[in-house]
Amino acid sequence: MKDMSDNGLLIVSEDLCQQLVGRKEAFDAVQDVFAAMARGDAYNFPVIREAIGYADALYGFKSGFDRAGQVLGVKSGGYWPGNTEKGLTNHQSTVFLFDPDTGRLSALVGGNYLTAVRTAASAAVSIAHLARRDSKVLGMVGAGHQSTFQLRAAAEHRDFEKVVAWNPHPEMLPRLEGVAHEVGLEFQAVTQEELGAQADVIITITSAFEPLLMKDWIKPGTHLACMGTDTKGKQEVDAMLVAHATVFTDEVAQSITIGETQHAVADGQLTKDQITPIGAVINGDHPGRGSDEEITLFDGTGVGLQDLAVASVAAKLADKAGLAGRATL
Ligand code: NAD
């Protein structure tokens, strides 16, 4: 079979990724790979993430193989807290794609923009499949880099009228307000309790290590997409809320170790077999939301296959349009 790297290694820059991979492309790629994971057609390899003892950096790899989509590769990168002072993004990553038939390196794809767009797509997939159809109010907890991508993606999947938002650093909220207005939504900064009382859908996207939303503040029928917890020890919502909800995730193994369910599982309030991969809902093997009163919670931990899926879309589109750089090893 002809591989896209037959004419040399493809180089797909950050700018090109932004130009070619929009929210629709990312949504479709992430939805498809979640479905493939649940069918057993795609799997993630164990994640490596280490403090390197230099520049306060965390560095690691997320990798996997999607047999259905024929995508093999690794995202490598991490977090360099001193980058802001250098005018660079703290999170840095690059995706390496390999030809699954030969093992040849086929593409190098910038991973910074794609990480944001694939994380937003993950929450959007959960909203599309699990939120009540009549959801009108979107609650945002978090106002950092990822939050604006999350808001834009979520807004496309229900007829929201309003955004209610809370952030531990309130001075960050005006940027999110600007994005809400751009997509035609009213915006209100609220307390955490008010957010729970008003929101039909809630996205949490912070770096919290303690719960920011408690069980009793959340109204029946709410859908939560908990997206910030991606490391052992992090936590965004009350473990009792997780135990009370019907829980879905991208990957169960990652959810119980580094995701939002880690605390409820450790406390014995939730078991692994009570957590459903969202791919099962996409594939029609699980009904998803059971009633209008049920609280559904999606634990989006962020898997390597999401990165590979969107990077593969970027590489294919860049190749087709003749826009990618070329190199030989
Ligand atoms: P950012 O640094 O731009 O913003 C951080 C956000 O967390 C802000 O809202 C800030 O006010 C809040 N915050 C900072 N310290 C906090 C604390 N101690 N307690 C509570 N809140 C705190 O980061 P970002 O790029 O927007 O990413 C937000 C989170 O999402 C990070 O934790 C990141 O690791 C995680 N993330 C998850 C995925 C995934 O796939 N699940 C992907 C990318 C990022």
Ligand 1 neighbourhood includes 111 CB (under 6 angstroms): no
Residue 278 domain-assigned (yes or no): yes
- Let me know whether 59 and 173 are in one domain: no
Q: What is the CATH number of the domain that holds 80?
A: 3.30.1780.10
Number of domains in the chain: 2
Question: Cα–Cα distance between 228 and 299 in angstroms, integer?
Answer: 9
Residue 75 domain-assigned (yes or no): yes
Output DSSP code: residue 71. E
Write out the catalytic residue numbers: 75
Q: Which of 192, 205, 251, 257 to mutate to test the pocket of ligand 1 (most atoms within 8 A of CB)?
A: 205
Q: What are phi and psi of 143, to 5 degrees?
A: -145, 25
Question: Cα–Cα distance between 28 and 34 in angstroms, integer?
Answer: 10
Question: Cα–Cα distance between 264 and 124 in angstroms, integer?
Answer: 24
Backbone angle region of 302, left / alpha / beta, with phi > 0 → left and psi within -120 to 50 → alpha: left
Residues 6+ away with beta carbon under 8 Å from 112 = 14, 89, 91, 92, 93
Note down pLDDT in tens along the chain; length 329 residues.
456 667 789 999 999 999 999 999 999 999 999 999 999 999 999 999 899 999 999 999 999 999 999 999 999 999 999 998 999 989 999 999 999 999 999 999 999 999 999 999 999 999 999 999 999 999 999 999 999 999 999 999 999 999 999 999 999 999 999 999 999 999 999 999 999 999 999 999 999 999 999 999 999 999 999 999 998 999 999 999 999 999 999 999 999 999 999 999 999 999 999 999 999 999 999 999 999 999 999 999 999 999 999 999 999 999 999 998 999 88
- Let me know whether 54 and 108 are in one domain: yes
Task: For residue 122, give the ligand 1 atom closest to its CA.
Answer: 40
Residues 6+ away with beta carbon under 8 Å from 317 = 20, 21, 25
Residue 156 domain-assigned (yes or no): yes
Question: Cα–Cα distance between 118 and 302 in angstroms, integer?
Answer: 9
Placement of tokens 């936590």 in the chain: 235
Residue 1 domain-assigned (yes or no): no
Supply the residue whose CA is at minimum distance from atom 6 of ligand 1.
Answer: 206
Task: For residue 146, give the ligand 1 atom closest to its CA.
Answer: 26
Task: For residue 306, give the ligand 1 atom closest to its CA.
Answer: 40
Contact 38, 277 (CB under 8 A): yes
Take residue 195 and report the two structure tokens written for it.
């957010």
Predicted complex ipTM: 0.99
Contact 158, 135 (CB under 8 A): yes
Ligand 1 neighbourhood includes 228 CB (under 6 angstroms): yes
Domain that holds residue 255: 129-302
Residue 87 domain-assigned (yes or no): yes
CA of 70 to the centre of ligand 1 (A): 32
Contact 327, 11 (CB under 8 A): yes
Residues 6+ away with beta carbon under 8 Å from 256 = 262, 265, 272, 275
